[in-house]
Structure 1
Amino acid sequence: MAAVNLGIVTEAEWAGDASGRSGIDKRPVDGPVPVLAEGLAGDFIGERAHHGGADKAVYAYAEEDAAWWSAEIGRSIRSGGFGENLTTYAVDVTGAVIGEQWAVGTAVLQVTMPRTPCTTFAGFWGVPDLIRRFTVRATPGAYLRVLRAGEVGAGDPVEVVERPAHGVTIGEVFRATSLEPELLPRLLDAEDLPEKIREKARRRLAGRG
């Protein structure tokens, strides 16, 4: 693990929360951080209608993908710059299988779904067309649910301790729900994918939106 990051309260016009506050600005912290069922202790979450909760308790983004974006936009992106709690290295986050389990520190986390880019993210970066560019790049990072509470810290390895056989990845789910609807049938094989996404896939496959 390259870094563990906690959100601070940011007040801005681009913040999507009705109160004008966002937790997208996450900063690296020292020492172990408790991981609870709803996320990392001390992490501020603004738009709770869209972020947080059991299926989005923790957000991970790969240091290698961040390096690509740094080169793409011509400026350094620090750990936490994607709003991620965990900045990983040597982990194929986009290729992570829905439902696979990560042992990190003393916690066990489960991969659930990709992140969907939003206007708050674009405003935070100051890149107006970021949603389009992020969608085309299709390295969205992974949300995780907490299967076993514990503590995580920078330097902890990420060990995949279980991986479902269906093989449906974070990248496939993201592409299926954005630019490649022909992948939608695959989503029905991933039982650990949140039901609202599976139901959306069913509706689209049935021609109901």
Structure 2
Amino acid sequence: MPSDVLPAPARPAVLTVNIGQARRAARTDTPGGLTGIDKRPTEGPVLVTAPGPMGVGGSGLAGDAVCDLRHHGGDDQAVYAYAREDLDRWTERLGRELPGGVFGENLTTSGVDVSEVRIGERWRVGRELVLEATSPRVPCSTFADWLGERGWVKSFTAEAAPGAYFRVITPGEVRAGDGIEVLRRPDHEVSVAFLFRARMTAPELRPRVLAAGEALHAAELARARTWAAQAG
């Protein structure tokens, strides 16, 4: 290939679909001491549906365990996606293999910057499934304990590549190799990473978060309204 010809960009796709079983955690405050963070690639299609409101519904993926319904799962956090490209950067920094699912993500993607997805952006994944981005992942003690990396919450926060939670707009099956098509991209500036920084490290961004409106995770929308009121 001539030196002035760049390779075609990778087709956005799902590399692995990951589900987890409830397992006992060494350190967690979840009911029964269980966690579903240990998610692993699965063969065959997985049905994805809206699981129900937070506190009642768990994962949107059939067969995937969510053990702490106080903070995880529900309609606004039905599916968690993380980019393989970001996992590869962490692989280099940490000096260890990081297989798909190791961050607790349901979808490990390729060819798309998941953390720069805008709140309210809609994806078609495969033939039928339509997802809408709602919020970033916020690191917790269970995540840190699972990875076993000292100072992990601080390191993950500083990187500001949190991956994205999605709600289910149209249910459907998902499998490894499914393409990802952007159906709608809002014209506001509030990406998942923008919202993460506003919440965690850059409070000066907070008055601008409300531009994402009703597409925000319900708890994030309430928080954004409080920020806007304080700024005004």
Residue 68 of structure 2 is aligned to residue 47 of structure 1: yes
What runs of 5+ residues in structure 1 fail to find an aligned partner?
none
Q: Which residue of 1 aligns with 2:134?
A: 112
1:77-97 deviations in Å (ceiling 9; x for gaps): 010000000000001111101
CA contact (8 A) 1:16 1:22 kept: no
Alignment of 1:182-193 (within 5 A): 182-191=204-213, 192-193=215-216
Name the TM-score, length of structure 2 as normaliser: 0.86
**1:128 CA drift (Å):** 3.1
SS at match of 1:147: strand
Contact 1:9 1:44 (C-alpha < 8 Å) held by counterparts: yes
Structure-2 residue corresponding to 1:18: 31
Q: Secondary structure at the match of 2:32?
A: coil
User: Hey, what does 1:97 align to over in structure 2?
Assistant: 118
**Aligned partner letter, 2:176:** A
Contact 2:207/2:227 (<8 A) preserved? no
Q: Distance in 2 between matches of 1:12 and 1:100?
A: 34
Range 192-201 or range 82-91, more displaced: 192-201
Equivalents in 2 of 1:71, 1:10: separation in Å?
28
TM-score, scaled to structure 1 = 0.96
Name the counterpart of 2:217: 194
Q: Which structure 2 residue ranges, 5 or more long, are not aligned?
A: 1-13, 52-59
Partner of 2:163: 141
Tell me how far 1:178 sits from its aligned partner: 0.4
Q: Deviations over 1:39-72 (max 9, x none)?
A: 0000011111111000000000000000111111
Q: Report the secondary structure of 2:187's partner residue.
A: coil
The equivalent residue for 2:17 is 4
Percent identity of the aligned residues?
Answer: 48
Per-residue displacement from partner, 1:74-124 (whole Å, max 9, x unpaired)?
A: 100010000000000001111101001010012000000000000000000
Moved runs in structure 1, 4+ residues, more than 3 A?
204-208
Are 1:30 and 2:53 matched, yes or no?
Answer: no
Residues 24 and 83 of structure 1 are in contact (CA less than 8 Å); yes or no, is this contact kept in structure 2? yes
Q: Does 1:62 align with 2:83?
A: yes
Q: Secondary structure at the match of 1:116?
A: coil
Provide the C-alpha distance between the structure 1 equivalents of 2:50 and 2:229, rounded to a whole number of angstroms: 35
In structure 1, what is the equivalent of residue 177 of structure 2?
A: 155
Distance 2:221 2:207 in 1: 9
Rg comparison, structure with higher value = 2
Number of positions where the alignment pairs a residue of Structure 1 with one of Structure 2: 208
Match of 1:70, SS state, is: helix
Q: Counting helix residues as a fraction of each chain, which structure ranks higher?
A: 2
Q: Which deviates more from structure 2 when the two are superposed, residues 165-174 or residues 139-148?
A: 165-174
8 Å contact kept, 2:210–2:228: no
Corresponding residue for 2:4? none
2:187 corresponds to: 165
